[in-house]
Amino acid sequence: MKHDKSFDVLVCGGGHAGIESALIASKLGCSVLLVTLDTKAIGRMSCNPAIGGLAKGQIVREIDVLGGVMGLATDHSGIQFKILNQSKGKSVWSPRAQVDKREYESYVSSRVLNNNKIEVLQGEVVSLLCSKGRVQGVVLRSGARAFGKAVILTCGTFLNGLIHIGQKKIRAGRMGESGAEGITEFLLSLGFVAGRLKTGTPPRLDGSSVNWNKTSTTHGDELPLPFSYETSSFDPPNVACHTTTTNLNCKEVIQENLKLSPMFSGDVGGVGPRYCPSIEDKVSRFAHHDSHTLFLEPEWLRSDQIYLNGFSTSLPEHIQIKALRLVPGLEHVRFFRPGYAIEYDFFSPAQLKSSLETKNLSGLFFAGQINGTSGYEEAAAQGLIAGINAAKLIQEKEPLILKRSEGYIGVMVDDLITKDTLEPYRMFTSRAEYRILLRFSNAHTRLCAHADKNNLLSPAREKKIRASLALIDKMLESLNRSVLPSKINSKLLALGENTINQATPLKNILKRPSVTLDSLALNVLSESNKEATAREAKIEVEAIIKYEGYIKRQQDQVDKMKKNESTPLPNNINYFEIKSISNEAREKLSFVRPETFGQAMRVSGVTPADISALSVLFLKRT
């Protein structure tokens, strides 16, 4: 870029957050510059070769309904699809796909590079241009400048990234890629508060060195469901994954060498995720377990590079090899790359508004790991929201803010700005208090009004979403019909259910625990199971009918909270002047500055007693 150029939106980072930001902003009519350290690494999957999973699968669905690319990219590159949690409750069913990393990366990067409203630039952003509390652009290491009305920072683990393998330390954003320095320091000078987190990744094995006969095999679902509503003619491969288990010998090697792990020697300052523990963590915290499952996942189709899920570590490479060679099937294992831990800077997300715009600097948005989250899906969802809201800001329109009752994305953003970040934030279904309403199969029901209003969807996706909604309505309608005993009793007997003795609405029969739409086989539904849309509509219809009472009770809870969620708290409250709340509440509320009463209730350290004191005061004032 020879001259200083001007854009609507500047996106710094080409990971899962940055991609969604750039694509959606361009869809909303903005000119976009995407600055990345390496234009050949756009959409790279740094860690596991999978998209979706528990709670994350629901997020990918929501991204899809809000116009994001992640679902479509996954359908395009998936090599094994599976719905997890099928035995555990309908609202926690979660789709997951193993993907071909190369295919995924090439699909999304081509979407970015072929978009004529997005310009891609290789470079490193070192500081921001700002004036009068508003961001104006970015400055690159080369000294070049780019101007933009909004700037979205999606720096991943690159901010002052530091890799640890045993005692070895490498300054990098990812193995083999240099990190980004300067932005943290610049933001600190503006008064932002930063912290340090860490995460880890397991070794990549050479598949030809694995004795596959000693491992167990798992496959995906026979009849897979795609992530994106837009996907048609879906016929992905169903590649096997393999598992093996660690043993006592392996455990002893790790225990003997714990002191060589920087996490245990105190070399790593950042806090790591408890839900994704390193193998060192597992053997020390759960010393009573002698074995842990390891998953051997291919990184791409017919790949010899194997991702060893479950063995995240920062032990020295020779110890990693020594321990793994004691595991069945890995006796002669060789590495392409050892596991490592990485420390990086993040900014406390309490400094953000619900739109993901920073409170300090108008026009500046943060998305992804810079907000202390982990996971491709969490990053992509934030990138999408930041991209939408950057466009809205420029167009002087209301930002898109999802409620906790509308989606996991709403839960995540609200959690980020109200809760203390003590470890990298990952989505769990248990974080959603209205979980029963947030099914993967009703993402479109929940969010399509937002998509419509904000014009987020391509015509093709919009059409498919409408068709799916119509099919669900049609099925529900047909289940209101009554059925005669003569037509159904033989089927009920075959299922071991009690027979009926008078005409009964079909939906009442469907409420029985062992009855499903398929076991009724009533031909009320013309769609065949070969159609993914029909299979999925059935899942949703069964949930709606079988969970009717609970869905209603959750909706009542939502309604009860509605007043709190819609009562705004003025931005200028001096919490230190409020006498009847605790010191901790004063400090936390002053830092977070909740936008609504509902948010104030969720701020870490604020007790119900504080809230009742606040409500007395606040109701007096209005």
Partner 1 sequence: MNSGDTIVAPATPLGFSGLAVVRVSGPSAFKFAEIATHKKILKNRSATLVTFYNKKGEKIDRAVITRFVAPASYSGEDMVEISSHGNPTIVDAVVSTFCSLGARLADPGEFTYRAFINGKMDLVQAEGVAALIKSKTIESVKEQQKIISGSLSKQINKLRLKLVDLVSFLEYQMDISEEDLSAKEQKNVPKKIRALHKEALVLSNTFIRGKMLNLGVTAVITGPPNVGKSSLLNALCGESRAIVSPEPGTTRDIVRSEMVLGGVPFVFLDTAGIRVAKSAIEQEGVARAKKLKEKADLIISVSDDPQAQTNKTGSQPHIFVVNKSDLHSKKPNKAIIHISCKNKTGLEVLLLEIKSALKIGPISSDVSLLSTPRQSAAINACAKSLERAQNVCKTVGLELELVSFELRSGINALDVLLGKTTPEDIINNIFNNLCVGK
Q: Where are the alpha helices (DSSP H) in 257-375?
A: 262-265, 279-285, 317-324
Instruction: Tell me the window of 13-21, 277-285, 359-367, 522-530 that interacts with partner 1 (CB under 8 A).
Output: 277-285
Residue 430 interacts with partner 1 (CB under 8 A)? yes
Instruction: Tell me the window of 111-119, 391-399, 443-451, 601-609 that interacts with partner 1 (CB under 8 A).
Output: 601-609
Q: How far is the CB of 555 from partner 1 (least distance, A)?
A: 13
Instruction: Tell me the window of 263-271, 454-462, 486-494, 609-617 that interacts with partner 1 (CB under 8 A).
Output: 609-617
Distance CA 573, CA 149 (A): 29
Torsion of CA 109, 110, 116, 117, to 10 degrees: -30
Question: Which is closer to partner 1, CB of 144 or CB of 240?
Answer: 240
Interface with partner 1 in residues 555-594 (CB under 8 A): 578-584
Q: How far is the CB of 461 from partner 1 (least distance, A)?
A: 29
How big is the site for partner 1, counted in residues (CB under 8 A)?
A: 50
429: Cα within 13 Å, side-chain hemisphere: 21
Residues with Cβ within 8 Å of 410's Cβ and at least 6 positions away in sequence, in order, are: 401, 402, 403, 404
168, 219, 289, 397: which one contacts partner 1 (CB under 8 A)? Answer: 289
Q: How far is the CB of 550 from partner 1 (least distance, A)?
A: 6
- Residue 362 is given by DSSP the state B
* Contact (Cβ atoms closer than 8 angstroms) between residue 485 and residue 499: yes
Q: How far is the CB of 579 from partner 1 (least distance, A)?
A: 3
433, 474, 500, 527: which one contacts partner 1 (CB under 8 A)? Answer: 433
Q: How far is CA 449 from CA 34, 406, 561, in A?
A: 29, 11, 21
Residues with Cβ within 8 Å of 451's Cβ and at least 6 positions away in sequence, in order, are: 65, 66, 67, 457, 462, 465
Q: How far is the CB of 420 from partner 1 (least distance, A)?
A: 9
* Contact (Cβ atoms closer than 8 angstroms) between residue 337 and residue 177: no
Q: How far is the CB of 286 from partner 1 (least distance, A)?
A: 4
Residue 607 interacts with partner 1 (CB under 8 A)? yes
* Chain centre distance of CA 349: 16
Question: Which is closer to partner 1, CB of 77 or CB of 429?
Answer: 429
Interface with partner 1 in residues 168-227 (CB under 8 A): none
Distance CA 331, CA 274 (A): 29
Q: How many helices (H) and strands (E) does the chain have?
A: 21, 22
Distance CA 77, CA 606 (A): 45
Instruction: Tell me the window of 153-161, 165-173, 282-290, 364-372 that interacts with partner 1 (CB under 8 A).
Output: 282-290
Spell 333-354 as b/e; 16+ CB within 10 A means b: bebebbbbbbbbbbbbbbbbbb
149, 404, 446, 546: which one contacts partner 1 (CB under 8 A)? Answer: 546
Residues with Cβ within 8 Å of 93's Cβ and at least 6 positions away in sequence, in order, are: 83, 84, 85, 86, 439, 440, 441, 539
167, 293, 395, 490: which one contacts partner 1 (CB under 8 A)? Answer: 293
Question: Which is closer to partner 1, CB of 558 or CB of 578?
Answer: 578
Q: How far is CA 269 from CA 110, 173, 195, 291, 422, in A?
A: 38, 17, 10, 28, 13
Torsion of CA 581, 583, 586, 587, to 10 degrees: -160
Interface with partner 1 in residues 351-380 (CB under 8 A): none
Residue 554 interacts with partner 1 (CB under 8 A)? yes
- Residue 79: phi, psi to the nearest 5? -120, -5
107, 158, 192, 295: which one contacts partner 1 (CB under 8 A)? Answer: 295
Residues with Cβ within 8 Å of 207's Cβ and at least 6 positions away in sequence, in order, are: 298, 303, 304, 305, 306
Residue 37 interacts with partner 1 (CB under 8 A)? no
Q: How far is the CB of 275 from partner 1 (least distance, A)?
A: 6
Interface with partner 1 in residues 478-517 (CB under 8 A): 513
29, 122, 256, 286: which one contacts partner 1 (CB under 8 A)? Answer: 286
Residues with Cβ within 8 Å of 190's Cβ and at least 6 positions away in sequence, in order, are: 130, 360, 361
Q: How far is the CB of 187 from partner 1 (least distance, A)?
A: 28
Residue 263 interacts with partner 1 (CB under 8 A)? no
Interface with partner 1 in residues 400-429 (CB under 8 A): 419, 428-429
101, 204, 242, 282: which one contacts partner 1 (CB under 8 A)? Answer: 282
- What letter represents residue 561's amino acid? M
Q: How far is the CB of 430 from partner 1 (least distance, A)?
A: 4
Q: How far is the CB of 528 from partner 1 (least distance, A)?
A: 27
Residues with Cβ within 8 Å of 619's Cβ and at least 6 positions away in sequence, in order, are: none
**Which residues are at the interface with partner 1 (CB under 8 A)?**
54-55, 84-85, 87-92, 274-277, 282, 285-286, 289, 292-293, 295, 309-310, 419, 428-431, 433, 435-436, 513, 546-547, 550, 553-554, 578-584, 604, 607-610, 613
